[in-house]
Structure 1
């Protein structure tokens, strides 16, 4: 059997899917690295909602996907940008997601960390930003989850300079009940975060970021760096206080950053580990045995897919992630909150299918083939 896929310049080419998946059985938690997958949400395709209405979520399918990740020993990073925070999922929806996922984590014994932001605000003063963060921090800690202090669009707009970041983050860290993860999300993921930490000069921003960590090392479990700059992450990682982890958020260079070097390594909190979950878990289990070569042999071939999904404009990577979840059988439709299934072109989606199929990511390749053919037919590509 072949699939006719759209190619360059309006052409159509034949692709022969693989017949056997890369099968990975569920396994125990990982040992040598802390690895969390930032998980997507599943929309309710039957909800009659308008584009500007609150998101309608299929809670059963959404929670089932988290159980899938936990079953492979991965942690779940909940209500992060992969879950479309600020791109279809509002704070009310995120709060419900946090409550439900935290309860599910307790039931199955899975690790969960949840995003704390300020997306109940459209704008506001520094005091209002601080209060919005406090509201979300209280909810996350109240359900027993670890907090990830996410970058705030409202703070980026309200801050006059580095001192405002130092004040807001210092205030939050002093009141945090347990150590948190600080998240530096670059503007390639969200253009509204340009100049975060008080400067568009990344060297200056790094100094402010590290000043926050150094002032409260007992309240910082780790930092998540999402700048797609491996050299900068390594340099920052080497300057962290003892005991503070670096969680890579670099969806382009994750194999080398997780493997590390003679001076340390990065843990992981990655959106690409949503579609790669079982394969990524297997790679880290190989690394747990000390086999760095085997780890890279498993994970390096996935980088081409990640580069494709996260290509500019990077913030629309969620579309490819949800496509692959549908093709893999984790949900019954290719619909997204906010209608973001339309955010990528058909050739982009076709290439994502081809790369994922080549890696063996689909548990049932025949199902993935049939679903891809159905999608292509909607666009007029006869099979």
Structure 2
């Protein structure tokens, strides 16, 4: 049996092994209430049913107990849940019937827990759409389901719209239609092509400044219907400029998994709130940091956030859209799910060497609640892959 303080080794890509000392687990303080100084959403993954036919192209078979249990874990650290987003494999294995059940179940759990939930509305329940009018109708069909479940709406970027739009005016027309009919203020999600290559040129231009101008004009026209915007372009400079240009009262929810500590901390005048896949992986440490921020303790905030960043940057390294594999792997190592299987077989999307480094960085950040279990499970994975010293 492996104990904390024991020396381990993890494989490198050249076939050598790097030494590692298993660190003592940390007792993270629970924080079931929301934070005073920042709004924090964690974009949560789904846990695959180990007995389901979760192979490429098959409908999603979900382990509902583990999936909802993970959301309860996030609620316990003061996180709202951003549901049915790309972290949950939207457009990468999570089909619409599974989305409906996921949002319905999660929204009910959030109500019971007094927690916040916002869920993604897109157009992915339709295989083909023939014009931007149909894109708007498809959005509204999903909006109706999400609002009916009692969840706030996140208007996701649409692959259909990216393929059909001839210019900025088509984006504006679709979003005008959708935002004029939502019941409550929504979160708008601008997902960059590093997360989904099919969204290249969203807002009608591959030039980021031109796309931003179109995006801002739409937000300004519908500011009363926009709670905030989530921007996932992995550019801190762009985000700082955008949040300064947003209308009064519209939040900037950072989706930057490479720079979130500085963006959430802010510059003394403005700050970003958070809607991050990374927070699903580092919730206890993020909770400790946000608790310190509520008390105005910036030094402790920086100290608590710092060890999470190397882990997040590794999980989200290129090709970034496979980050979901690292999120699920960490949940397995931490005992939040019984196995390391994913919808669509996506557990194969990262290498053994990549995943072993995920283990090492989580260990360094003291984010493995049971290091013995985590090291045992890592050993099972390495053995199955044929990685032997």
* TM-score, scaled to structure 2: 0.96
Secondary structure of 2:180 counterpart: helix
Q: Would you say the 8 A contact 2:307–2:364 is kept in 1?
A: no
- Aligned twin of 1:18: 23
- Aligned twin of 2:145: 139
Displacement of 1:294 in angstroms is 1.3
Displacement of 1:135 in angstroms is 0.5
* TM-score, scaled to structure 1: 0.98
- Aligned twin of 2:59: 54
1:65 matched to 2:70? The reply is yes
- Aligned twin of 2:3: none
Aligned residues: 383
- Aligned twin of 2:14: 9
Render the CA deviation track for 1:318-342: whole Å, top value 9, x for unaligned: 0011000000000010000000100
Q: Would you say the 8 A contact 2:55–2:343 is kept in 1?
A: no
1:79 matched to 2:89? The reply is no
Match for 1:198 among 196, 200, 204?
A: 204
- Aligned twin of 1:295: 301
Displacement of 1:28 in angstroms is 2.3
Displacement of 1:22 in angstroms is 4.9
User: 2:68, 2:326 → 1: CA distance?
Assistant: 20
User: 2:75, 2:367 → 1: CA distance?
Assistant: 17
Aligned residues: CA RMSD: 1.2
Render the CA deviation track for 1:167-200: whole Å, top value 9, x for unaligned: 1101111111000000000000000000000000
Render the CA deviation track for 1:104-144: whole Å, top value 9, x for unaligned: 11111110000000111233221221111000000111111
User: 2:237, 2:381 → 1: CA distance?
Assistant: 39
User: 1:17, 1:191 → 2: CA distance?
Assistant: 38
Displacement of 1:5 in angstroms is 1.1
User: 2:91, 2:57 → 1: CA distance?
Assistant: 12
Q: Would you say the 8 A contact 1:37–1:269 is kept in 2?
A: yes
Q: Would you say the 8 A contact 1:37–1:271 is kept in 2?
A: yes
Q: How does 1:19-34 map to 2 (within 5 A)?
A: 19-34=24-39
1:319 matched to 2:325? The reply is yes
User: 1:93, 1:243 → 2: CA distance?
Assistant: 34
User: 2:340, 2:44 → 1: CA distance?
Assistant: 16
Secondary structure of 2:53 counterpart: coil
User: 1:49, 1:97 → 2: CA distance?
Assistant: 16
Displacement of 1:278 in angstroms is 1.4
Secondary structure of 1:316 counterpart: helix
- Aligned twin of 2:359: 353
- Aligned twin of 1:188: 194
Q: How does 1:83-102 map to 2 (within 5 A)?
A: 83-102=88-107
Match for 1:233 among 239, 248, 270?
A: 239
Q: Would you say the 8 A contact 1:79–1:115 is kept in 2?
A: yes
Render the CA deviation track for 1:242-268: whole Å, top value 9, x for unaligned: 000000000000000001113300000
Secondary structure of 1:212 counterpart: helix
Which ranges of structure 2 fall in alignment gaps of 5 or more residues?
Answer: 1-5
Secondary structure of 1:175 counterpart: coil
Q: Would you say the 8 A contact 1:19–1:366 is kept in 2?
A: no
Q: Would you say the 8 A contact 1:114–1:148 is kept in 2?
A: yes
- Aligned twin of 2:164: 158
Secondary structure of 1:269 counterpart: strand
Q: Would you say the 8 A contact 2:32–2:75 is kept in 1?
A: no
Displacement of 1:93 in angstroms is 1.1
Q: Would you say the 8 A contact 1:274–1:321 is kept in 2?
A: yes
